[in-house]
Amino acid sequence: MTEPDPEPTREVTTVDPNNEMQFGIFSRRKPQNVIAGLSSGAKSAAKGALAGIASVIAIPVVTAHEEGAKSIPKGILKGVVAGTGIALGGIGVGISQFVRGVGNTPEAISEMCKGKKRWDEETRQWIQDDLEAEKIAMLAFGNDDDIYSSAKKRAEEEAASAKPSATSSDKEVADMTLYDQLGIPANATESDIKKAYYRKASACHPDKDPSPDAKEKFQKLSQTYQILSNPDKRLEYDSKGKTESNDNDMEVGPDILFTAVFGSDAFIPYIGKLGLSQMFMQGYSFSKAEGRELQRRRGIRIAVHLSSLLRPYCDGHVDAWKESMQLTAKELSKATFGDRLLLEIGKAYQLEARRHQGIISSSIASFEGKADHLRSYGKIASHGYSTLAYMKKAQEGDTNPTLAAMGDSKSRDCLFELALEGTVLDISNIIYIAAARLFHDNVDSSVKNSRIEGLILLGGIFIDVATQALRSTSQNIESVMENMPTIIAKKREERENHMS
């Protein structure tokens, strides 16, 4: 079978690449093997049965509504005929998918035994990665400005077509200080405010900015965002300027909390930009195709970074490499909640390396990965339910339920654990994608085996350093919240000096 040439560059479109392989509600995507074919076939048959039952019920009702009660027998007949046809169609597609899966199984077994290529879920083909070529291709994408620009343009067009905002281009306000701080006009939209805030906050995050006043600048930006992102507070500020009420009222929403807790750029080479961070940092949403492309690029960048990180180990400089990784891990653990992130990254590294280390190890690792995902989903559901309960209780007051819930220590813990579990799930998913590229790179089998061994060792180093850091520190969400009054006091003094 002739393999397609690697695609170092790929244009983002809003068209689902699998649509051409679909037949109505039944998937006609190429199954990887007999198991995938059986699964796809069973789903098609089930869809056909459910759609058939729905037709038998719906068509007589619609016919009776349009033509009267006398037409019910005719409607029943039409429903039975249509429902039977749809059900048989689903069964036919199901059988076809199963047969295709059986036919593709020999190739799947051969490729899995060779271990050089991986099954790509998007293109439905066996492909071999070339990280050197992908590394060069990533240079053209830069910081993914093409996707961000596309999403931004779409958001602006949607905003323009929506109801006009109460603000106008010639809007006059009592004080422009906060707007100037974010570098936005007085008529800025909510989207503009959010994007400007995260752009500024990312630059002065305490884990990125080494200056002694980084925390104060970060806190100052947070309060500015809290005022301008709240319609009532913004209206008060626009009409009266700075007042004692909005000067003292420092609310911490979930987006600010997530950025403060998990906003360290030091981890980007290892896990990319976190999904929750992307969601909070952008004032617009991505299409499904754009989201897939961002995830694809993110996986490539992580794989390229890991290949570079493991090169000294693969070249035989084991002791020096271990010492270097120990120092790297200790630095990462110093970031805000870096110990928690480092621990999860280490676990994910080891799990994915074992997934590519022989049939038995791979099977055990796959089972453990699925079990971990189920536990994460369970914790997310549990913490999410608890958070919603606190927010519902907070609705009894006059404040925003999310912000009111943040004022309670138990609800803060729930929000933090919810964000953490979502982050853990995101980390495991992206490292799964990156590891597949790393271990199916166009390199000798000896290099591949060294990468597997090295990633297991690296994961162990991360786990050990993170465990020691967790034992020696008591960093928690309460310590972040407890420091805010001191930071606010310093911020107020800084503002007075700045405005004098």
DSSP string, 206-269: TTT--STTHHHHHHHHHHHHHHHTSHHHHHHHHHH-S-HHHHH-----HHHHHHHHH--GGGHH
Three-class secondary structure of residue 203 per DSSP: helix
Q: Report the C-alpha gap between 138 and 293 in whole angstroms.
A: 12
Cβ count within 10 A of residue 258:
22
- Runs of H (alpha helix) within 315-408: 318-333, 338-355, 359-394, 401-406
Q: What is the pLDDT of residues 467-495, one digit of tens each?
A: 998 887 655 555 555 554 443 444 344 33
Handedness of CA 407, 412, 414, 418 (dihedral sign): positive
CB 138 within 8 A of CB 301: yes
CB 390 within 8 A of CB 410: yes
Ordered per-residue pLDDT tens for the chain, 500 residues: 444 444 444 443 333 434 433 346 788 888 988 998 899 889 989 998 998 899 889 988 888 888 888 888 888 898 899 889 988 998 999 999 999 999 999 988 888 788 788 888 888 888 888 888 888 887 777 777 788 788 777 776 776 665 444 444 456 787 788 888 888 888 888 778 877 877 777 677 665 667 777 777 777 787 888 788 777 788 888 887 776 555 544 444 444 555 555 656 788 889 887 766 665 555 567 888 888 888 889 999 999 999 999 999 999 999 999 999 999 999 998 877 788 889 999 999 999 999 988 778 878 888 888 888 888 888 878 877 777 776 666 555 544 444 444 445 566 677 777 777 888 888 899 999 999 999 999 888 899 999 999 999 999 999 999 999 888 765 555 555 555 444 344 434 433 443 33
CA-to-CA dists, residue 157 to 12, 148, 186, 188, 199, angstroms: 19, 14, 20, 15, 22
Q: Report the C-alpha gap between 217 and 200 in whole angstroms.
A: 10
From the list 257, 259, 235, the residue with the least C-alpha distance to 245 is 235
Q: How far apart are the first and last CA of the chain?
A: 75
Q: What is the pLDDT of residues 6-48, one digit of tens each?
A: 444 444 333 343 443 334 678 888 898 899 889 988 998 999 8
DSSP 118: E
Assign residue 241 a region (left: φ > 0; alpha: ψ between -120 and 50; beta: otherwise).
left
Burial string for 97-116 (b: 16+ CB within 10 Å, else e) reads: bbebbeebbeebeebbeeeb
